[in-house]
Amino acid sequence: MSDRSSPRATLSRDDHAFIFETIPTGSRVLDLGCGAGELLGALVDEKGVFGRGVEISADGVAACVSRGLSVYHGDINEGLSEWTDGSFDYVILNQTLHEIQRPLFVLTEMLRVGTVGIVGFPNYGYLPVRFFLLFRGRMPATTDIPYAWDDTPNIHPFTLRDFDILLSRMDISVLRRKHLPNTGVVPSVIRDIMPNSLAKNCVYLIGKKKRSGR
Protein backbone atom coordinates (compact mmCIF):
# COMPACT_ATOMS: atom_id res chain seq x y z
CA MET A 1 0.00 0.00 0.00
CA SER A 2 1.37 3.43 -0.96
CA ASP A 3 1.85 6.15 1.63
CA ARG A 4 -0.53 8.91 0.55
CA SER A 5 0.71 11.17 3.36
CA SER A 6 4.05 11.53 1.57
CA PRO A 7 4.39 14.16 -1.20
CA ARG A 8 6.91 11.89 -2.89
CA ALA A 9 4.06 9.43 -3.50
CA THR A 10 2.47 11.86 -5.97
CA LEU A 11 4.94 14.69 -6.65
CA SER A 12 8.11 14.13 -8.62
CA ARG A 13 9.55 17.67 -8.46
CA ASP A 14 11.46 18.86 -5.39
CA ASP A 15 9.94 22.36 -5.53
CA HIS A 16 6.43 20.85 -5.50
CA ALA A 17 7.41 18.57 -2.62
CA PHE A 18 8.72 21.50 -0.57
CA ILE A 19 5.58 23.55 -1.16
CA PHE A 20 3.40 20.55 -0.31
CA GLU A 21 5.26 20.02 2.96
CA THR A 22 5.02 23.74 3.81
CA ILE A 23 1.26 24.22 3.50
CA PRO A 24 -0.75 22.98 6.52
CA THR A 25 -3.76 20.70 6.19
CA GLY A 26 -7.04 22.53 5.61
CA SER A 27 -5.49 25.81 4.45
CA ARG A 28 -7.08 28.13 1.91
CA VAL A 29 -4.83 28.04 -1.16
CA LEU A 30 -4.74 29.91 -4.47
CA ASP A 31 -2.35 28.58 -7.13
CA LEU A 32 -1.48 31.14 -9.82
CA GLY A 33 -0.32 29.62 -13.09
CA CYS A 34 -1.33 26.18 -11.83
CA GLY A 35 -0.70 24.40 -15.13
CA ALA A 36 -2.27 20.94 -15.31
CA GLY A 37 -2.93 21.01 -11.56
CA GLU A 38 -0.39 18.47 -10.28
CA LEU A 39 0.52 20.44 -7.14
CA LEU A 40 -2.95 21.87 -6.52
CA GLY A 41 -4.51 18.44 -6.97
CA ALA A 42 -2.14 16.88 -4.45
CA LEU A 43 -2.91 19.61 -1.92
CA VAL A 44 -6.66 19.19 -2.35
CA ASP A 45 -6.64 15.38 -2.37
CA GLU A 46 -4.03 14.71 0.31
CA LYS A 47 -4.17 17.75 2.58
CA GLY A 48 -7.81 18.74 2.28
CA VAL A 49 -7.06 22.35 1.38
CA PHE A 50 -9.68 24.71 0.01
CA GLY A 51 -7.98 25.08 -3.35
CA ARG A 52 -8.50 27.45 -6.26
CA GLY A 53 -6.35 28.02 -9.32
CA VAL A 54 -5.76 30.49 -12.13
CA GLU A 55 -4.38 29.31 -15.47
CA ILE A 56 -4.08 31.11 -18.81
CA SER A 57 -3.73 27.95 -20.93
CA ALA A 58 -7.01 26.40 -22.07
CA ASP A 59 -5.33 22.98 -22.11
CA GLY A 60 -4.17 23.50 -18.52
CA VAL A 61 -7.64 24.51 -17.40
CA ALA A 62 -9.13 21.45 -19.10
CA ALA A 63 -6.58 19.18 -17.37
CA CYS A 64 -7.42 20.75 -14.00
CA VAL A 65 -11.16 20.37 -14.55
CA SER A 66 -10.62 16.71 -15.43
CA ARG A 67 -8.99 16.34 -11.99
CA GLY A 68 -12.06 17.90 -10.37
CA LEU A 69 -10.27 21.14 -9.49
CA SER A 70 -11.82 24.60 -9.39
CA VAL A 71 -9.71 26.70 -11.76
CA TYR A 72 -10.33 30.14 -13.25
CA HIS A 73 -9.32 30.69 -16.89
CA GLY A 74 -7.63 34.06 -16.81
CA ASP A 75 -4.49 36.20 -17.04
CA ILE A 76 -2.89 37.07 -13.70
CA ASN A 77 -1.34 40.17 -15.30
CA GLU A 78 -4.83 41.65 -15.08
CA GLY A 79 -4.98 41.19 -11.31
CA LEU A 80 -6.99 39.10 -8.89
CA SER A 81 -10.14 41.19 -8.60
CA GLU A 82 -12.24 38.01 -8.28
CA TRP A 83 -11.06 37.74 -4.68
CA THR A 84 -11.26 40.12 -1.74
CA ASP A 85 -8.44 41.01 0.63
CA GLY A 86 -7.25 38.10 2.77
CA SER A 87 -9.27 35.44 0.95
CA PHE A 88 -6.46 32.86 1.18
CA ASP A 89 -3.84 31.67 3.66
CA TYR A 90 -1.32 30.85 0.91
CA VAL A 91 -0.97 32.11 -2.65
CA ILE A 92 1.40 30.10 -4.86
CA LEU A 93 3.28 31.54 -7.85
CA ASN A 94 5.67 28.77 -8.82
CA GLN A 95 7.88 28.89 -11.93
CA THR A 96 5.75 31.70 -13.35
CA LEU A 97 7.07 35.08 -12.13
CA HIS A 98 9.73 35.32 -14.87
CA GLU A 99 7.05 34.76 -17.54
CA ILE A 100 4.57 37.47 -16.56
CA GLN A 101 4.47 41.05 -17.82
CA ARG A 102 3.75 42.80 -14.50
CA PRO A 103 5.75 41.04 -11.77
CA LEU A 104 5.55 43.83 -9.17
CA PHE A 105 1.80 44.17 -9.62
CA VAL A 106 1.25 40.43 -9.36
CA LEU A 107 3.36 40.17 -6.19
CA THR A 108 1.35 43.02 -4.66
CA GLU A 109 -1.92 41.31 -5.60
CA MET A 110 -0.69 38.02 -4.12
CA LEU A 111 -0.14 39.62 -0.73
CA ARG A 112 -3.44 41.46 -0.93
CA VAL A 113 -5.55 38.32 -1.34
CA GLY A 114 -3.25 36.03 0.68
CA THR A 115 -1.42 36.07 3.99
CA VAL A 116 1.68 34.24 2.72
CA GLY A 117 3.02 34.18 -0.83
CA ILE A 118 5.03 31.23 -2.12
CA VAL A 119 7.23 32.16 -5.08
CA GLY A 120 9.43 29.66 -6.90
CA PHE A 121 11.72 30.47 -9.83
CA PRO A 122 14.83 29.32 -11.74
CA ASN A 123 17.95 31.19 -10.64
CA TYR A 124 19.70 32.80 -13.62
CA GLY A 125 22.71 33.40 -11.36
CA TYR A 126 23.34 29.63 -11.14
CA LEU A 127 26.96 28.94 -12.10
CA PRO A 128 26.25 26.55 -15.02
CA VAL A 129 23.98 29.23 -16.51
CA ARG A 130 26.75 31.83 -16.14
CA PHE A 131 29.31 29.47 -17.69
CA PHE A 132 27.00 28.74 -20.63
CA LEU A 133 26.88 32.45 -21.48
CA LEU A 134 30.59 33.02 -20.73
CA PHE A 135 32.04 30.13 -22.74
CA ARG A 136 29.44 29.72 -25.49
CA GLY A 137 28.56 33.36 -25.93
CA ARG A 138 24.88 32.50 -26.27
CA MET A 139 21.79 32.92 -24.14
CA PRO A 140 21.63 29.95 -21.74
CA ALA A 141 19.56 26.89 -22.58
CA THR A 142 19.55 24.25 -19.85
CA THR A 143 17.24 21.50 -18.59
CA ASP A 144 15.51 24.07 -16.36
CA ILE A 145 15.59 26.87 -18.95
CA PRO A 146 15.02 24.81 -22.12
CA TYR A 147 14.20 27.57 -24.59
CA ALA A 148 15.99 29.33 -27.42
CA TRP A 149 16.14 33.12 -27.07
CA ASP A 150 13.65 33.63 -29.92
CA ASP A 151 10.84 31.45 -28.53
CA THR A 152 11.26 31.71 -24.76
CA PRO A 153 8.32 32.69 -22.54
CA ASN A 154 10.83 33.98 -19.97
CA ILE A 155 10.56 37.73 -20.42
CA HIS A 156 11.97 38.72 -17.01
CA PRO A 157 15.01 36.51 -16.25
CA PHE A 158 16.48 37.30 -12.84
CA THR A 159 18.79 35.97 -10.15
CA LEU A 160 18.19 35.18 -6.50
CA ARG A 161 20.02 38.39 -5.60
CA ASP A 162 17.79 40.39 -7.95
CA PHE A 163 14.73 39.00 -6.18
CA ASP A 164 16.13 39.85 -2.75
CA ILE A 165 16.67 43.44 -3.86
CA LEU A 166 13.16 43.63 -5.34
CA LEU A 167 11.55 42.37 -2.11
CA SER A 168 13.53 44.92 -0.09
CA ARG A 169 12.42 47.68 -2.46
CA MET A 170 8.78 46.56 -2.14
CA ASP A 171 9.07 46.32 1.66
CA ILE A 172 8.20 42.61 1.62
CA SER A 173 9.52 40.21 4.27
CA VAL A 174 11.20 36.89 3.52
CA LEU A 175 9.68 34.40 5.95
CA ARG A 176 11.66 31.41 4.69
CA ARG A 177 13.43 30.26 1.58
CA LYS A 178 14.56 26.94 0.17
CA HIS A 179 17.51 26.52 -2.18
CA LEU A 180 17.13 23.62 -4.60
CA PRO A 181 17.83 20.95 -5.71
CA ASN A 182 17.60 18.85 -2.57
CA THR A 183 20.29 16.52 -3.89
CA GLY A 184 23.38 17.02 -6.01
CA VAL A 185 27.15 17.21 -5.94
CA VAL A 186 27.10 20.39 -3.83
CA PRO A 187 26.19 19.82 -0.14
CA SER A 188 23.18 21.85 1.00
CA VAL A 189 25.25 23.65 3.66
CA ILE A 190 27.57 25.02 0.92
CA ARG A 191 24.60 25.85 -1.32
CA ASP A 192 23.07 27.88 1.51
CA ILE A 193 26.28 29.91 1.91
CA MET A 194 26.46 30.84 -1.79
CA PRO A 195 22.88 30.40 -3.04
CA ASN A 196 23.06 33.00 -5.81
CA SER A 197 25.77 30.89 -7.48
CA LEU A 198 24.91 27.35 -6.39
CA ALA A 199 21.10 27.16 -6.20
CA LYS A 200 19.47 26.04 -9.44
CA ASN A 201 15.98 26.91 -8.20
CA CYS A 202 14.63 28.81 -5.21
CA VAL A 203 11.32 28.86 -3.38
CA TYR A 204 10.50 31.85 -1.17
CA LEU A 205 7.81 32.30 1.46
CA ILE A 206 7.04 36.02 1.60
CA GLY A 207 4.68 38.30 3.54
CA LYS A 208 3.93 41.91 4.26
CA LYS A 209 6.19 43.56 6.80
CA LYS A 210 4.44 44.16 10.09
CA ARG A 211 4.33 47.76 11.18
CA SER A 212 5.28 48.39 14.79
CA GLY A 213 2.80 50.49 16.73
CA ARG A 214 3.73 53.62 18.58
Q: Max Cα separation, the chain? A: 57
What pTM value is reported for the model? 0.89
pLDDT at 25 over 60: yes
d(CA 93, CA 33) in angstroms, rounded, equals 7
Q: Please state the rounded mean pLDDT for residues 144-156.
A: 80
pLDDT at 211 over 90: no
Higher-confidence residue of 64 and 147: namely 64
Q: Which residues pair with 116 in a beta bridge?
A: 90
pLDDT at 1 over 90: no
In three-state secondary structure terms, 68 is coil
What's the pLDDT score for residue 17?
95
The side-by-side arrangement of strands in the sheet containing 50-55 is: 71-73, 50-55, 28-32, 88-94, 114-122, 201-208, 172-180
Amino acid letter for position 104: L
Distances (CA, A) of 106 to 42, 112, 119, 152: 24, 10, 11, 20
Summarised one tens digit per residue, pLDDT across range 81-139 is 999 999 999 999 999 999 999 999 999 999 999 999 999 999 999 999 999 889 989 88
Strands (E), 103-156: 114-122
pLDDT at 158 over 90: yes
Amino acid letter for position 137: G
Q: Would you tell me how many other CB atoms lie within 10 Å of the CB of residue 130?
A: 14
What percentage of the chain reaches a pLDDT higher than 90?
74
Work out the angle between the directed axes of helices 38-47 and 14-22 (0-180°, nearest 10): 40
First-residue to last-residue Cα distance in the chain: 57
* Domain 26-125+158-208: CATH class, spelled out: alpha beta
Higher-confidence residue of 181 and 37: namely 37
